[in-house]
Amino acid sequence: MRPTTPVLLVALTALALTTSCGSGGSGDDPNTVKVAYQRSTDNKVRLMDDYLAGITKQFERAHPGKKLRLLPIQASQDDYYAKIQQMMRSPKTAPDVVREDTFLINSDITSGYLRPLDDKLAAWKDWSRFAPTAKASATATAADGRTYGVPDGTDTRGLWFNKEIFARAGLPADWQPRTWADVLDAARTIKRKVPGVIPLNVYTGKGPGEGATMQGFEMLLYGTGQDPLYSPAQKKWVTGGKGFRDALDFVRTVYADRLGPEPADALDPNVATRVATEWLPGGKLAIALDGCWLGKNWLPSGPRPWPQWTTVMGRAAFPTQDGRAPGRVSLSGGWTWSISAKSTKADLAWQAIELMQSPENATDWTVRDAQIAVRDDVAAAPKYRASMPGIEFFTGLVKDTHYRPALPVYPRVSTAIQEAMESVTTGDADVAKAQRTYDERLRTIAGASGVTTR
């Protein structure tokens, strides 16, 4: 679990005041299921709120006398993690159902915050519909190997590019880079021929948080060789070798050569919102290394409607470093619905999760949130297949995708990666120094016996 800091304590105090629904009051009511989830800090984005409002009506209609009480937590991702962990420490504040990021679920499992669901899953026929990789994302890496969550979707990542800017730069509308050099060459061409445009955005540093680690650094690192971050065979974390340094050097190049946003903008915690709602629809950014979900921002119901996006924006797989097989890289994550270990209403809580994951509701959520399906029946549903331009492209990346190491210390490793990225982005350290600092942090996090060198 991420260690508590003074800054985090301030954030928790603020969150206690800004959580839309208090976490007490109905803790002892056997007929009320409390559901905790993250609400976007962008007040225009209410996808989960609207979805759960419909689920609430269905649940209360199907279970007369029972209630769903929604506990939206309006917070950044890191602050949301901290808040739900704080809530789950006490029976008085613990929700019954909680939305868990697969990024953090093993930390919460290890801390004893979640209830295993194997007894429920064994009798649930729909569990066979889920992809094995999705099931694994909610399975404990500890000795018990039990499952603690039901995934509600996944995601993949690639390159989005503005075809109008590409045309002005003399670049092809069907651009498909084969190597990292191809990506940088395109960015340099745009800088030279289309002044005033940000050529390339790669998330970096502590501001964007896990977005920098996953959508930025790991998209690079996993294109340098097999198991570059953690060795499952050895059960050890891998120190920063050549691939790690090369990935850092790519980040350094983007910012040192002024191919990306200004560092102050790149390190802003709200940079992802600016990419989606300002820079791309405003024609200010040419290439974005980002996720499958961007298009939902531009729908009529999104925070920045942009009818032209379906013809303006192109998509390309992010290449491996030098084009080696399979030639492309993606990272996948996702969220699960879990039951708090301190819930006294596990049966009723499970019925709420089961309802969320009926074929119709699962399809509805996957489409609403522009996610990639984790159930075969959802993936085959006409509503899903027609839901978003590019959905087949991003679904096709699943076979070449990677998942982050689902280990309790991963959040701390991720923070160390963000710090290394930030130091080369600002120029405070060169690649070699940033790598050495990362290695020192890694040994502190995992212990000398938990690290291997390549």
**Residues 380-425: tens digit of each pLDDT:** 999 999 988 899 899 888 888 898 887 889 989 999 999 999 999 9
Contact predicate 94/33, CB 8 Å: no
- Under DSSP, the state recorded for 292 is G
Q: Which domains, and CATH codes, for the chain?
A: 6-148+335-388 (3.40.190.10), 157-331+408-452 (3.40.190.10)
Tell me how far apart the alpha carbons of residues 270 and 256 are, in angstroms, rounded to a whole number.
Answer: 22
- Under DSSP, the state recorded for 370 is T
Assess whether pLDDT exceeds 80 at residue 93.
Answer: yes
Tell me how far apart the alpha carbons of residues 84 and 81 are, in angstroms, rounded to a whole number.
Answer: 6
Tell me how far apart the alpha carbons of residues 397 and 357 are, in angstroms, rounded to a whole number.
Answer: 24
Residues with Cβ within 8 Å of 144's Cβ and at least 6 positions away in sequence, in order, are: 116
Q: Are strands 97-101 and 32-39 parallel, antiparallel or unpaired?
A: parallel
Confidence class for position 18, pLDDT limits 50, 70, 90: very low
Confidence class for position 1, pLDDT limits 50, 70, 90: very low
- Biggest alpha carbon–alpha carbon distance for the chain: 66
Assess whether pLDDT exceeds 80 at residue 10.
Answer: no
Alpha helices (H) in 397-452, listed in sequence order: 410-426, 431-446
Residue, of 291 and 370, whose pLDDT is higher = 291
Assess whether pLDDT exceeds 70 at residue 14.
Answer: no
For residue 8, the model assigns a pLDDT of: 36
Residues for the chain: how many in total?
Answer: 454
Task: Choose the weakest-confidence range: 43-47, 135-139, 257-261, 415-419.
Answer: 43-47
Six token digits for residue 352: 């709420």
Q: What is the DSSP string of 30-63?
A: TTEEEEEEEE-SSTT--HHHHHHHHHHHHHHHHS
Residue, of 315 and 454, whose pLDDT is higher = 315
pTM here is: 0.78
Tell me how far apart the alpha carbons of residues 28 and 130 are, in angstroms, rounded to a whole number.
Answer: 34
Q: What is the DSSP string of 164-233?
A: HHHHHHT--TT----SHHHHHHHHHHHHHHSTTSEEEE---SSSSTHHIIIIIIHHHHTTSSSSSSEETT
As a whole number, mean pLDDT of residues 233-247 equals 96
For residue 141, the model assigns a pLDDT of: 67
Tell me how far apart the alpha carbons of residues 361 and 48 are, in angstroms, rounded to a whole number.
Answer: 12
Confidence class for position 143, pLDDT limits 50, 70, 90: low
Assess whether pLDDT exceeds 90 at residue 41.
Answer: no
- Under DSSP, the state recorded for 302 is S
Burial of 352 (0-12, 13-18, 19+ CB in 10 A): buried
CA end-to-end distance (rounded Å), the chain? 27
